[in-house]
Structure 1
Amino acid sequence: MLYTLAWLLCFFIIIVIIVIVFYQLICSADLEFDYINPYDSASWINKVILPEFIIQGVLCLLYLVTGHWMMFILAVPYLYYNMRLYARKQHIVDVTEIFNQLNQAKMQWIFNIGHFCSLLFITLFWNIYDALEEDER
């Protein structure tokens, strides 16, 4: 029962991260199609970057505490990358450089979505597996 709850919590945390990354991607698309100005787009994106990093850190910590070592190993390189961006102060979208950084940032967000979708499917598999295993006992 405890493992199933841990997997469910991880599942919902990953869903939240995917929603945040989609939000960043939508803000960049709105900027690209000139629906919003660069200042608003940069401020909206910058508001969700730090919560995304914190939630991802909580996810890695949850994997570590619950003993899901393989999932922790899959999630920790991207956490390290985000920590490195934060330490170098490269995580903030600059209003004056947003158009120059837009293509690179969009590719990064698409990679994030792919990474977290793969974690989501693996988490969903293990959640179903643990639930079925508990029913057999």
Structure 2
Amino acid sequence: MADLFAWLISFFLLIVLLVLVTFQLMCLADLEFDYINPYDSSTRINRVVMPEFITQAVLFCFYLASRHWIMALFCIPCLLFNIRLYRRRMHLIDVTEIFNMLSWEKKHRLIKLFYLVFTLFLSVFWMIYTSLDQ
């Protein structure tokens, strides 16, 4: 039963990550179609970048603590990429460079979105498998 609760918690953490990345993509799309100015867009995105990084780290630590080693291994690439961005101070969007980096930022977040959807699929699969096993 505890294993099922662990999968539920990881499911909700993954949903939070998906919402944060989707919000960032929507802000970038609004900027691309000129619905929002660059200052507002970068402010909105920068406001949710650190919660996304922290949630990703908490999810990784949660998988380690609950001894789900395979899922923890799946979280390592995204976590290392986030750490690399943070150490190089590239995690925040600069207002003056936002149009030059727009395509890279969108690709980076789309890849992260597909990665999170894949991880969510695996989490749901293991949650169903665990509930049927008991």
TM-score scaled to structure 2, two decimals?
Answer: 0.99
> Structure 1 vs Structure 2: percent identity of aligned residues?
49
The one-letter amino acid paired with 1:132 is: L
Aligned position for 1:20? 20
Structure 2 segments unaligned to the other structure (5+ residues): none
Asked if residue 74 in structure 1 is aligned to residue 77 in structure 2, the reply is no
The one-letter amino acid paired with 2:86 is: Y
Map 1:1-137 → 2, pairs under 5 A? 1-134=1-134
Work out the CA distance in 2 between the residues paired with 1:78 and 1:10: 16
Higher percent of residues as helix: 1
Matched residues, number: 134
Work out the CA distance in 1 between the residues paired with 2:17 and 2:108: 14
Q: Deviation at 1:88? A: 1.1
Q: Deviation string for 1:81-127 (max 9, x for gaps)?
A: 10111011110100000000100000011101100000000000000
Q: Deviation at 1:47? A: 0.2
Structure 1 segments unaligned to the other structure (5+ residues): none
Q: Deviation at 1:78? A: 1.0
CA RMSD between the two structures: 0.5
